[in-house]
Structures are given as structure tokens and as C-alpha cells.
Amino acid sequence: MEATGMPLIGDKAPSFEVQTTFGKIKFPDDYKGKWIVLFSHPADFTPVCTTEFFAFTKRFDEFEKLNTQLIGLSVDSVFSHIKWVEWIKDTLGEEVKFPVIADETGKIGRLMGMIHPNKSQATVRAVFFIDPKGIIRAIIYYPPELGRNFDEILRVIKAFQIADEKKVAMPANWPKNELVKDRVIVPPASDVKTAKERLEDKTIECYDWWFCHKESN
């Protein structure tokens, strides 16, 4: 496993075998056919990270319904991870039902661009969205002092699944867009004939031939 530069949107997710709280896993091969949310956190037993893990566990069933595997990661040891997730269950009443990678050497963090030396020697709050074909579809970064918005992470997965199925694009703030509400964007016409047909199509609405939208179902 040699790093050739940080993976970017559209790249195949790097492959590696690692130790987790659920035993060794082969990433991403063990999760073929699933969406994956791979996320890093700065450290176990820290307040902001604990609120994040609690937020993920509260939404675990929603991710599962979306055929999405959650995988956490930090440079802490697997023993630290185990003790921390036990503490979350015993103290906060929520069981962490997803694996947490023990990246003690920082090798995976560096490979995935999760370690930003000017900010910290630990992993920042990175989120990688990986589709069932193993392609990285989106990446979000947050600094250690800012906890993530977990409803946004869910929204991204839902939006990608609809976009892929319907061959559409998603507007800003979907499904609460200020212009088209929960409707989706029809890809712009690429020729004169299609542009004219768009304006005559009763199943879609258009501001103009290049800006059309329709129901998502």
C-alpha cells in the first residue's frame, strides 16, 4: 500500500487491511455493494468526538436502511477504541454498532489525507463518501474544534442515491431548496432538439431550457 497522493472525488478508494474494534477488515472489499461513510476523528475520550459518535449511533438505523456502512478511524489504539465505545454504551446508553479503525502509525490517515500537519498530528474530522463500486463521491473536512452536522451526512447519502437512480442533480439545500423545494434538477439539454422538447415536456417544469426540474419520485 503506497500513497501516491491524497485520493480525490472520482478516484477508486484505496485498498488496505486494518485492525478495528470488529476485528481485521479488508477495505473496501468487505463492503462491496454498500455505500460507505469512512470518517476520522481526532481522539478517543474527547468531548466533541464523543458527541459525534453519539450522533452517529443515534442515526445508525437510518444509515443501515440506506445500505450504508459506517467506519470510524483515529490514530488511537484498538484497546482505547474498545474502552471508549464501552464507555459510550455504559454512560450514554448507545451502542456503537460500526467498526472503528486503529490507525496507530497514521499510515491510513496520511494515505487518505486525514492528517493535516499544520492543524494537528492526529486525524482531522474527515468524511469520505464511497459508492457501492468503491468510487469516492464526496469528501468533507472539519477542523478538530468543529463537530460535524450528521443530518448533512445523511442528506448526502440520500441525495446521491436519488441522483444515481433518477439520473438527476440535486439543488442547493435539497430537499428544502428555496426555488424548487424538494424537486430535483433535470440535466441541461445538450442540443437544440432536446432544448425545445424540454419546454414542451409536461412532466417537468422549466425556468428556461437549461434550468428544468421535476418530482423526485
The predicted structure's pLDDT at residue 2: 42
The predicted structure's pLDDT at residue 138: 98
The predicted structure's pLDDT at residue 25: 97
CA distances to 13, 72, 184, 189 from 75, rounded to whole Å, are: 20, 11, 40, 48
Domain boundaries, the chain: 16-148, 167-214
Could you tell me which CATH number the domain at 167-214 has?
3.30.1020.10
The predicted structure's pLDDT at residue 197: 87
The predicted structure's pLDDT at residue 4: 43
The predicted structure's pLDDT at residue 1: 39
Task: Report d(CA 60, CA 95) in Å as an integer.
Answer: 10
The one catalytic residue in 36, 49, 101, 157 is: 49
Contacts of 136 (CB under 8 A, 6+ apart): 7, 8, 9, 10, 11, 12, 13, 128, 129, 130
Domain spanning 16-148, CATH class = alpha beta
Task: Report d(CA 56, CA 120) in Å as an integer.
Answer: 23
Q: What is the pLDDT of residues 56-110, one digit of tens each?
A: 999 999 999 999 999 999 999 999 999 999 999 999 999 999 999 999 999 999 9
The predicted structure's pLDDT at residue 196: 87
Taking 70 as the pLDDT cut, the residues of the chain under it are 1-5
Burial (Cβ within 10 Å: 0-12, 13-18, ≥19) of residue 61: exposed
Three-class SS state of 165: helix
- Whether residue 212 lies in the annotated active site: no
